[in-house]
Structure 1
Amino acid sequence: MFLGTHNPRLDDKGRLFLPAKYREELSGGLVITKGQERCLYVFPTAEFQRITEALRNAPVTDRSVRAYSRVFFAGASDELPDKQGRVTIPAPLRAYAGLTRDCTVIGANTRLEIWDTAAWEDYLAAEEPAFADISEEVLPGIL
């Protein structure tokens, strides 16, 4: 489970330090792909394989399944962190998420998300006020 908010910087070679607390879990490999709202999703390889299997079993005759799969897999890149815990973010993914220097990495349960810091702050400012209102819709009767 991934939790918390971290603020690493992207270096000149497009590398990002993974949060120290997750480096061991991600040391065997990870997959970076396009996420919603112009962020990047980072999955441990095993979790990405689980999602791949679920999409493999989805009906290819469903237009939304085809569209989602195309964007999700076409933008995906499997990466191996270096000994310092850095991972290279491919240029097309950096461009998609608008990553330049200051990044925010958030834990989002089974994945990490990488955001441009200004984009994350804008997103949070827009969505946080509705947080209490949507809890009943997302988690009915749980919280």
Structure 2
Amino acid sequence: MLLGTYAPKLDDKGRLILPAKFREELSRGVVLTRGQERCLYVFPEEEFARQVERIREAPLTSKSGRDFLRLFLSGASDEIPDKQSRVTIPPALREYAGLNRELTVIGAGTRAEIWDHGAWETYYSEKEQGFSDTEEEVIPGLF
């Protein structure tokens, strides 16, 4: 399971060193793709395949299902971490997420997310109070 918050830097070649705690789970290969809220999702290859199958279960007649699948897959890039546990983030994905040198990488269970550091700070500050105020009725069965 991918957990925690890390603050790596993007190098001049668009590479990110994976957080040490993620390396074993991501060592066999990752898929980077557009995430929601302008972050990037980083899936282990097997988890990415599971997610795609779940999305494909939506009927072909579902416009929102087609739209989501198109955006999710058209931005996807499969990468193998190098010997220094670095992955290259393609320019189009860096642009999509507005990535600068300073990054925040968070573990989100079955995936990691890559955020521009400033964007993560803004998101976190906007959402933290709602997180604190979450009640069982909002997320049934949570507590």
| TM-score when normalising by structure 2 | 0.96
For structure 2, the 5+ residue unaligned runs are: none
> Larger helix proportion, structure 1 or 2?
1
Matches within 5 A, 1:118-133: 118-133=118-133
What is the root-mean-square deviation of aligned Cα atoms in Å? 1.1
Aligned pair count reads 143
Which whole-Å deviations, capped at 9, do the CAs of 1:15-38 have from their partners, x for residues lacking one?
000001111111110100000110
Identity %: 63
- Structure 1 residue 137: Cα displacement: 4.2
- Contact 2:55/2:65, CA 8 A, preserved across alignment: yes
- Which position in structure 1 is the counterpart of 2:24? 24
Distance 1:63 1:28, change over 3 A: same
- Which position in structure 2 is the counterpart of 1:104? 104
- Which position in structure 2 is the counterpart of 1:11? 11
Give, in whole Å, the separation in 2 of the partners of 1:35 and 1:142. Answer: 24
- Structure 1 residue 142: Cα displacement: 3.1
The one-letter amino acid paired with 2:88 is T
Give, in whole Å, the separation in 2 of the partners of 1:37 and 1:22. Answer: 22
Give, in whole Å, the separation in 2 of the partners of 1:120 and 1:112. Answer: 13
Give, in whole Å, the separation in 1 of the partners of 2:81 and 2:94. Answer: 17
Give, in whole Å, the separation in 2 of the partners of 1:94 and 1:47. Answer: 22
- Which position in structure 1 is the counterpart of 2:79? 79
- Contact 2:81/2:87, CA 8 A, preserved across alignment: yes
